[in-house]
């Protein structure tokens, strides 16, 4: 881009590009805005001043215009204050609604958390009960196994004692043993 002492020549080139080779202007979007623009109706006070001949009449007319202007300014201010008050009230209402919605959401979240805690506590209690039952079953199983072993052990001990008693009733003293052995040998020889 060409610079001429700190200024660009861009606007210059733009104005050249908007005109065609034949010299007729090509419509751009800038020109469309000017053609489509709608102006406000003229204010009745503009150009309504006619120079009075009497200075007192001019002063009275000027005072009337000033009063009318002050009245309109007061009305505009009242409207502005009223609008600002309505916006403030609307903002307060929206803030209150937002706070209420947030409060309700917080309460719902607290209720959900409490329900979740309660459910987890119930699950934990059920798991503990199941663990206790399993532990109790294992203990009962071990106790039954121990009792069965003790019973078998005591039965075997009893059998041993019975066998020992039976065998001990057959025991013979050493003196009689020689005698019995001689009798048994003699009995076998005689046969």
Cα separation of 16 and 2, whole Å? 15
Element (H, E) at 7: strand 7-8
Cα separation of 115 and 107, whole Å? 12
> Is the Cβ–Cβ distance between 113 and 120 less than 8 Å?
no
Cα separation of 94 and 81, whole Å? 20
- Please give the average per-residue pLDDT across 107-118, as a whole number: 96
Torsion angles phi and psi, residue 25, rounded to 5 = -80, 135
- Please give the average per-residue pLDDT across 136-164, as a whole number: 91
Say if residue 18's pLDDT is above 60.
no
Cα separation of 148 and 144, whole Å? 6
Q: 3-state DSSP call for residue 101?
A: helix
Cα separation of 147 and 141, whole Å? 10
Give percent of the chain with pLDDT exceeding 70: 73
Cα separation of 159 and 17, whole Å? 128
pLDDT tier, 8 (very low <50, low <70, confident <90, very high otherwise): low
Supply the DSSP string of 119-137, one letter for each residue. Answer: HHHHHHHHHHHHHHHHHHH
- Please give the average per-residue pLDDT across 50-61, as a whole number: 82
pLDDT of residue 136: 94
110-114, 152-156, 161-165: least confident range: 161-165
pLDDT of residue 20: 47
pLDDT of residue 183: 83
> Is the Cβ–Cβ distance between 52 and 61 less than 8 Å?
yes
Give percent of the chain with pLDDT exceeding 90: 48
């Amino acid at each position: 881009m060409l610079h001429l002492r700190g200024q660009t020549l861009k606007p210059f080139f733009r104005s050249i590009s908007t005109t065609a080779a034949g010299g007729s202007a090509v419509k751009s979007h800038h020109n469309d805005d000017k053609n489509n623009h709608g102006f406000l109706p003229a204010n009745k006070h503009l150009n309504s001043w006619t120079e009075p001949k009497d200075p007192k009449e001019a002063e009275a007319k000027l005072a009337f215009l000033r009063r009318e202007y002050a009245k309109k300014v007061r009305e505009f201010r009242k409207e502005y204050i009223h609008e600002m008050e309505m916006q403030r009230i609307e903002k307060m209402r929206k803030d209150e609604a937002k706070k209420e919605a947030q409060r309700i959401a917080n309460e719902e979240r607290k209720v959900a958390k409490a329900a979740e805690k309660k459910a987890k506590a119930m699950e934990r209690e059920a798991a503990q009960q199941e663990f206790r039952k399993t532990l109790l079953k294992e203990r009962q199983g071990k106790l039954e196994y121990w009792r069965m072993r003790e019973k078998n052990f005591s039965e075997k001990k009893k059998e041993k004692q019975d066998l020992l008693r039976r065998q001990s009733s057959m025991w013979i003293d050493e003196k009689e043993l020689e005698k019995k052995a001689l009798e048994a040998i003699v009995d076998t020889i005689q046969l």
